[in-house]
Amino acid sequence: MLGQKIGRQSVSMHNPPYMITGSTIVGPMEGEGPLREFYDLVLADDLYGEGSWEKAEAKMLRENVKRAIAKAGLTMGDIDVILAGDLLNQLISTNFAMRDLDIPFLGLYGACSTMAESLLIGSMLVDGGFLNYALAAVSSHHNTAERQYRFPTELGVQRPPACQWTVTGTGTSVIAKTGQGPRITYGTIGRVVDMGITNPNDMGTAMAPAAADTLMAHFRDTGRDPSYYDAIMTGDLGIVGRNLVIELTRQNGFILSKNYQDCGTLVYREDQDVHAGASGCGCSAVVLNGYLYSLLRRNMLKRILFAGTGSLHSPVSYQQKETMPCICHAVAIEAE
């Protein structure tokens, strides 16, 4: 028997793969946030002993992959493939991390949606019989992202209120054909949605329509009501984008407010002054592989819908006056 497609955008697993481990490393500022106890390692400084932030990000990703493999009681040779990505041009954090890991590698780019994209593809490849163990891994680093997407970090440019703060952090999930842990039961593949937003300092507003589109596709395709889930978690919309998702889905008859939260609202304390919340590949990755995974393993959550959101613009497209295409991929993760 095989997995199958359901509806326009979703897939159901035939023998749902297990998420047997989640591992996270975060930067110092994230380690001062409310989820501190759920991270595996908090770095003392954001250079992690390296000579550049880019090298620090690659090291963080690499070391966390090794930790995830060890936590799962596996060795590198057991891992059939790693699906990974980050925010940097040409995925250099990922590519340089992979250089030191002897694991077949498939590079993904979904901006901040990459954690969900990697879980979705990894689960299909495991359920399809091709792999026993797949890793899904992503990273982001505040300082590498800031200088690539916005301004030189040292310039100290004042940030507008709708701005989010890119998380310094990395998360790795070990997906397995057999094992212990919650199972990935359904996936919903996103479409690119572009509502004409041009302000890269307000990514929550830009990404919210894509998030709403994928969540509603998931409910339609699976026949599940939002209330089926204990928690519906979008990736990194922050405070502004979260409220917009609630409104957009409400207009279409879906009531999300009771069990819906956004990972970007959970990473920092309000007095950490990050404005509209957290963002970056690492945001949803550390919330999923730290906080949510821990609650799933303790049976404090039984069914979650994890929806990674990404803004697919670039500094070049912004300079060329283009609007921001966005995407959202979702996976249903359910404890038995």
User: Residue numbers of the site for a second copy (CB under 8 A)?
Assistant: 2-5, 8-9, 11, 14, 52, 54-55, 77, 80-81, 85, 88-92, 95-96, 98-99, 101-111, 117, 120-121, 124-125, 127-132, 148, 189-192, 194, 312-317, 320, 322, 325, 327, 329
Cβ neighbours for 316, distance < 8 A, ≥ 6 positions apart: none
Q: CA-to-CA distance for 45 and 243, rounded, in angstroms?
A: 33
Beta carbon nearer to a second copy, 152 or 158 = 152
Q: Closer to a second copy at the Cβ: 34 or 104?
A: 104
Minimum distance, C-beta of residue 264 to a second copy, in the bound complex (Å): 19
| Spatial CA neighbour of 266 closest among 241, 248, 289, 284 | 284
Can you say whether residue 48 is alpha, beta or left, with left for phi > 0 and alpha for psi between -120 and 50 degrees?
left
Residue 66: exposure state from Cβ atoms within 10 A (0-12, 13-18, ≥19): middle
Residue 304 to residue 283: CA distance in whole angstroms: 17
Residue nearer to a second copy on the CB measure, 4 or 299: 4
Quote the least distance from Cβ 133 to a second copy, whole Å. 10
**CB-nearer residue toward a second copy: 265 or 309:** 309
- Considering the complex, state which of residue 34 and residue 151 has its C-beta at the smaller distance from a second copy: 151
Distance of closest approach, residue 36 Cβ to a second copy, in angstroms = 31
**Shortest distance (Å) from residue 192 CB to a second copy:** 4
Q: Which residues pair with 10 in a beta bridge?
A: 6, 188
Integer CA distances (angstroms), 1 to 4, 207, 257, 291, in order: 9, 36, 37, 34
Closest approach, Cβ 13 to a second copy, in A, equals 9
Closer of 175 and 296 to a second copy (Cβ): 175
Strand partners, 138: 85, 171
Q: How far is the CB of 216 from a second copy (least distance, A)?
A: 14
Structure tokens at 9: 């955008």
